[in-house]
Copies of this chain bind each other. A is one copy, B any other.
Amino acid sequence: MLKRLLDYNDGEEMDIVVLIKNLQLRHNKKDNLYLAMQFGDGSGEIRGNYWDANHQDTATFSTGTIVELNGKREEYQGRPQIRIYSLRVVGPQEGYELDQFVKSAPEPIDEMKKEINSFLAQVQNPTWKSIVEYLLKKWGKRFYDYPAGKSNHHAVRGGLAFHTLSMLRDAKGLADNYEQINRSLLYAGCIVHDMGKVLELSGPVATQYTAEGNLVGHLVLIDEQIMLAAQDLGIDLESEDLLLLRHMVLSHHGRFEYGSPKLPALLEAELLHRIDDLDAAVYAVTNALQHTPKGEFTEPLSSQENKRYYRPKNDPALDHSHHLE
């Protein structure tokens, strides 16, 4: 198998095809132009500076260009970078596709789709079932393609669906323990809770927040979609069942300061929020620990209120787990 960007070690030379994930024009102190770039493929990302660029270079290369990169990996100020020997634009006839250079969720999309559908099949309430089906039909293409977040570091193609599926599995464990949980409502809530991200984010590559994302947010965006769907499906806009599902998505951030206009006021809404938060924490902590030496602490994790986590010297489960990123 071909070596990928992060498979090279310090000092090793490389000649590979990668994507320019980010590009900025700069001048050095001698007034010479250079291009500060971020390269990436499915294995991850590294920075590199293209020195002494001329004006043709600035026209040739930009964010989103697929290039053949010839260079060497080095360490600079404690972080890896590529010393660039040469850079060449890869033409469309060479057969590369943008999405080859984007990381994907750790489970195949088809299997995720199948498992999510099997959870959906257990939603018995007709209002919730029909709305979830409607929205999956309307937005499913994006839903199985988009990441769960904007940052390149957390963005993986299919991340939104993977996060959703992992939450459904947690939901099942809880519903098996607590008989009082309304399983249909909890499953329906899991499936649609973050679906507004298909409107909040720009897509799986070079992900940005859209204007709607910034001014309305994915909680209300999916609530609006639920209302429009209900109207289309002829569901009574004032029915309690519809109200419960709206509340599930509107309250799932669990705290006002995270943008929930209402706090969870259903047992299932309380659990939806907790499962969402727990699954994100497990992902972030695991990912950080997998990149931390044994017997040491991670860097402070901004997603975890800047807590640092310890990787035990002896921890077989973690040692044998698959790398998330």
Q: Which of A28, A224, A250 has the most CB of B within 10 A?
A: A224
Can you spell out 13 A-B residue pairs with CB atoms less than 8 angstroms apart? A169-B177, A178-B282, A180-B321, A182-B317, A182-B318, A183-B317, A212-B238, A214-B308, A216-B243, A216-B247, A227-B228, A265-B310, A267-B286
Contact mask for chain A residues 298-315; partner B; CB cutoff 8 A; 1 contact, 0 none: 000000100111101111
Picked from B227, B266, B307, the residue with its CB within 8 Å of the CB of A227 is B227
- Shortest A310–chain B CB gap in Å is 5
Q: Which residue of chain B has its CB nearest to the CB of A168?
A: B177
Number of copies of this chain that the complex holds: 6
Contact of A267 among B223, B247, B258, B309 (CB under 8 A): B309
* Cβ–Cβ < 8 Å partners of A83 in chain B: 31
Q: Provide the bound-state CA to CA distance between A136 and B182, in Å.
A: 36
- B residues in contact with A241, CB < 8 Å: 314
Q: Which residues on B sit within 8 Å (CB–CB) of A4?
A: none
Indicate if the CB atoms of A265 and B26 lie closer than 8 Å.
no
Known contacts A77-B26, A223-B224, A265-B310; A180 and B286 CB within 8 A of each other: yes
Instruction: State the CA gap A182–B25 with chains docked (Å).
Output: 36
Q: Does A172 contact B (CB under 8 A)?
A: yes
- Among listed A39-47, A93-101, A270-278, interface-contacting one: A270-278
A12-66 interface (Cβ within 8 A of B): 24-29, 31
Looking at the assembled complex, report how far the CB atom of A28 sits from the nearest CB atom of chain B, in whole angstroms: 8
Query: Are A322 and B223 in contact, with the CB atoms below 8 A?
Result: no
A259 within 8 A of B: yes
